[in-house]
Structure 1
Amino acid sequence: MSDPAHSQPSFSSAPADGLHGSARAWATFAVSLSVLLALLDYAIANVALPDIAVDLKASASSSIWVVNAYQLASLVSLLPLAALGSKVGFARLCRVGIVIFMASSLLCAMATSLPILAGARAVQGIGGACIMSVNIALVRFIYPHAEIGRGIALNGVVVAVGVALGPTAAAGILSIASWPWLFWINLPLGALALFMAFKALPQVPRSTQKTDVTGSALCVLALGALVMGGDGLAHRSGWMMSVALLVFGVACGWLLVRRERGVEQPILPVDLLGKPDFTVAFVTGCLGFVASNFYIVSMPFTLHDELGLGSALTGLLITPWPIGIMCAAPIVRRVADSVSAGVLSSIGLAVTATGFLLLWLLPAHPSVFDIVWRTWIAGWGFGFFQPPNNRAMMVSASHARAGGASGMVQVARQAGQAIGAMGVAAFFVQFAHEGPRNCLIAGACVAITAAALSASRLIQRV
């Protein structure tokens, strides 16, 4: 008699091998539009922080919670929502996420104080996590197994476009309207995304397993405490409380791992992390985003403070990064399904590290072109690394575990971004004026480490 704790999860129907023709095109558009909605708003508020602080009579430091509340809520809810998506259906959770996102955008636009705005942004982060936790799982069901790499590469382009358009869209809106319009604009875009989600997203098999409320709570507590404790140490503020939060987070994480062992559909996918291929891809992805955030967070300070460039030009000189990612997409789409991630991702990370080193070696008075081509190289490498590595995570999991794998792809991204941001803060505190430039060296070192780990996949395991 089989042990129910180790039996295979039950699903309502067998999955088909992808969509075809116009059905695939419309479903891909629906996923892309929902991802764009979530990512555009992730960065759109950054540009408006000074205006928000003045208008809501808040300090500059406290206004950062407009950004932090979104990121923290999104990160801690990703894995529980990915597990929920396997139960209620990935398409349904995506639609729910869009509705939450639109409702919280309305609250953000109408906020009259910083606590209300930060709270609404936290709810918005949960809505964004509903979308992001299942988007790659949906891609897996939209594309046939042999073409998953193409779908993930296209998804990576949409992510890059969303990140790139955030500051640009914010600058355009703020030039003609006040900051609440950064959130009002989500309503028509969200309505279109919701219409497409109902029209085109495929219905996929659903798990019949009972929801693990305790596991979800432990996951939220563990990730939340670790991020807040690490952020406190990076900023050297309240170190005793920060250490206490880290210890509490580790304890919750230990309890979570013990609880999830042997569970059919664990909140923390310990079953997937037990697979070497999945674990190497997950850690490689996390390190890749640590490296990228060392650049993304610190480079504006290098351009603005060290080189004396204006805010508008600084924003434009960051743009070659996502353009490089998009330029890599046509190539990586053709080879992601036929060439090992150990080869492609290692090459991409090595190219990214080279771009960071070239930026570190900028002359004292560089031209615009000097900055642009170096940044483009780094972005191209990152675009070449990410889709094959994400594909490796997804194909190492069964269809039954697509939700958990999709959630972990996003955890790798957001955890890496959070750790990278903490690293930048620590470098700024430690090295003062040399901090931004030293961050480029740190980013290059992390990227090389990730490239070496990625290349370890080429070693045959006995």
Structure 2
Amino acid sequence: MTDTDTNQGAKPAGAQAPEGAGTNPWPALFALCLGFFMILVDMTIVTVATPDIMRELDADVNSVVWVTSAYLLAYAVPVLITGRLGDRFGPKRLYLTGLTVFTLASLWCGLTGTVENLIAARTVQGLGAAMMAPQTMAIITRIFPAARRGQAMSLWGATAGVATLVGPILGGVLVGSLGWEWVFFVNIPFGILAFVLAMRLVPGLETHPHRFDWLGVALSGLGMFCLVFGIQEGHQFDWGRITGVITVWRLIIAGLVVLAVFIGWQAINKREPLVPLRLFGDRNFSVSNLAISTMSFAITAIGFPFMLYAQLVLGMSPVEAAMLLVPMAVMSIVLAPPIGKLIDQVHPRNLTALGFLAAAGALWWTSQVMEPGASAWDFVGPMALLGTGSAAVWAPLTATATRNLPLHLAGAGAGVYNATRQVGAVLGSAAIAVLMDARLAEHLPGVSASPEAAVGEALPEFVHAPFSAAMADAMLLPPAVLLVGLAAVLFFAKPTHSRE
């Protein structure tokens, strides 16, 4: 059965019986969330280990930045393709393959003795993550009935939100007690456990023997690489020349042009395109993709200025600074179950609009209390509010994005959604770096927000006030972007099928 065949008379996902009906899908969800949690934690856990990696591997800052950049690039670029591969070869099979690659690459990361090998291992680790991420979302869409899909997605969304916070905390504890290698070794026992659980608990699902769109694969891979690399590394090259005639802006423009060609090819490919553009005929899918990119942008962007302020101005250790985020994690976890139940009962516009408002307000509040004399207690309120807003955004957006899609397109839809989320994160990382440098140039001429600052000692007291002001100014960008997400979700339509 091909994609073209199954599209004839296809019903929305909410109108179709889930695959594996008659079995309890919740144990499968738990197994999937464990693996998903691992790959998201690894996006942030390495940041805390940067000073130790520089010292023990005798590496410069640019090389260590690539330890994270390589992972993000290898994760973001192929995710469109891996989502579609799950449709063709089976999401469980691809998830287990990706989990194996990720776990073995984690062992390689911890055993390596040079920064060059560490970068190579992180690249392979990112490829494993790219194979896993779309499958988790696709499997949830296919095994849960519509009436319970919102609750399932609330747990998936809470996993995504909490993982971004646990990374720095866990990283600080492991580096401080066992060494930088253990930010990678810790994945091995969890990876083995996740593999065993997935083998036993995740059902095998029907595959669709598609004709694979190899031209689409090439165009999307090249376009995503040029765009993501250009944006992610633009600050590192001061938005100028990378090598020879290749500049950052030429690379970004080339990526946009290639992606435009890719979209054109998807439109005229009458067989089986890599990304069926009819996905975007569902208004809620389109709105969810735009909205999740703004949320991912904001959550990624806040880490750098907030952690620099906490460590360099307030004099906190990496673990102490990361602990400021605990109220956000607690609220996200506590609110996940009730919000999961509301997803299936309340118009998604209402939940997500409140979530975006709360998150934007929380980040504005945070910027207002980022002063030299602030204490940890000053951030409990805004961080708790941010967790409340996050809980009302991540899960409802995910559930709404996939609710009306045909089940056989779950992999393609999950690939697009995860790619959009990753691109939003890359944009947030690049944009906040540029803005921090600009605000520091205004408040502290001659000072840069380069990674060197992140590994230095606390700043002299006489520069605390202007440095705090610069970081507080930078923190105003994420809430401004969240207002774009708020505007987007106002266009949500009521889901076609809220219950089976």
Fold shared by both chains (TM-score > 0.5): yes
1:438 to 473, 480, 484: 473
| Residue equivalent to 1:283 | 290
- Measured after TM superposition, the shift of residue 242 of structure 1 is 0.5
What is the alpha-carbon distance in structure 2 between the residues aligned to residue 80 and residue 46 of structure 1?
A: 28
Partner of 2:128: 127
CA–CA distance in 1 between the matches of 2:404 and 2:16?
17
Between the aligned partners of 1:52 and 1:135, the Cα distance in structure 2 is 32
Q: Does 1:356 align with 2:356?
A: no
- The verdict on how the C-alpha distance between 1:173 and 1:140 changes in structure 2, with shifts beyond 3 A counting, is same
Structure 1 distance, partners of 2:376, 2:170, is: 22
Determine the C-alpha separation between the residues in 2 that align with 1:177 and 1:372.
29
The answer on whether the counterparts of 1:222 and 1:251 sit within 8 Å (CA) in structure 2 is yes
Higher helix residue share: 1
Q: Give 1:76's aligned residue.
A: 77
Amino acid paired to 1:438: D
Q: Percent identity over the alignment?
A: 24
1:18 deviation in Å?
Answer: 5.3
Matched with 2:443 is none
Counterpart position of 2:418? 410
Report deviation, 1:112. 2.0
* Counterpart contact for 1:300–1:318, Cα < 8 Å: no
Match of 1:252 in 2: 258
Gaps of at least 5 residues in structure 1 are: none
Instruction: Determine which structure has greater relative contact order: mean sequence separation of CA pairs < 8 Å that are 6+ residues apart, divided by chain length.
Output: 2
- Extract unaligned runs of 5+ from structure 2: 441-466, 496-500
Could you state the TM-score of these two structures normalised by the residue count of structure 1?
0.92
TM-score (norm. length: structure 2) = 0.85
**One of 386, 400, 407 as aligned partner of 1:392:** 400
Counterpart of 1:255 in structure 2: which amino acid?
V
Aligned residues: 455
Residues 9 and 264 in structure 1, CA contact (< 8 A), matched pair in contact too? no
1:77-99 deviation digits (Å, cap 9, x = unpaired)? 11100000000001111100111
Corresponding position: 1:167 with 2:164: no
Q: CA deviation at 1:148?
A: 0.8
> Post-superposition shift, 1:398?
0.8
Q: Secondary structure at the match of 1:179?
A: coil
Instruction: For residue 20 of structure 1, report the CA deviation from its aligned partner.
Output: 7.0
Mapped to 2, the partners of 1:422 and 1:411 lie a distance apart of: 17
* Corresponding residue SS for 2:476: helix
Counterpart CA distance in 1 for 2:313 and 2:397 is 35
Residue deviations 1:423-460 (CA, integer Å, cap 9, x gap) = 11111221114442122211111112211211122699
Q: What secondary structure, in the 3-state scheme, does the structure 2 residue paired with 1:389 have?
A: helix
CA offset at residue 156 of structure 1?
A: 1.4
Q: Distance in 1 between matches of 2:87 and 2:206?
A: 8
Deviations 1:154-181 (A, max 9, x none): 1112223322322222222223323223
Counterpart for residue 186 of structure 2: 185
| Shift in CA distance, 204/435, structure 1 to aligned 2, threshold 3 Å | farther
2:262 aligned partner, one-letter code:
L
Say if 1:5 and 1:263, in contact at 8 Å, map to a contact too.
no
Verify: 1:449 aligned to 2:484, yes or no: yes
Query: Deviation of residue 353 (structure 1)?
Result: 0.7
Give, in whole Å, the separation in 2 of the partners of 1:333 and 1:190: 27
**Secondary structure, in 3 states, of the residue corresponding to 1:45?**
helix
User: What is the aligned counterpart of 2:6 among 5, 8, 16?
Assistant: 8
- Write out per-residue CA displacement over residues 397-444 of structure 1, whole angstroms, 9 at most, x where no aligned residue: 110110011112212321111111111111122111444212221111
1:79·1:404 contact (CA, 8 Å) conserved in 2? Answer: yes
Q: Offset at 1:153?
A: 0.3
1:221 and 2:256 matched: no
Aligned AA for 1:334?
K
**Alignment deviations for residues 46-76 of structure 1 (CA, whole Å, 9 cap, x no partner):** 2111111112111023201111110110000
The one-letter code sitting in structure 1 at the alignment partner of 2:73 is L
Deviations 1:296-320 (A, max 9, x none): 3321122223444333321110222
**Counterpart contact for 1:8–1:264, Cα < 8 Å:** no
Distance in 2, Cα, partners of 1:182 & 1:454: 37
Query: Retained in 2: the 8 A contact 1:219–1:268?
Result: no
Q: Give the superposition deviation at 1:21.
A: 8.2
Offset at residue 328 of structure 1 (A): 2.4
In the TM superposition, residue 392 of structure 1 has moved relative to its aligned partner by 1.4
**Range 82-91 or range 47-56, more displaced:** 47-56
1:313 aligns to 2:320 (yes or no): yes
Is the contact between residue 294 and residue 420 of structure 1 (CA under 8 Å) also seen in structure 2? yes
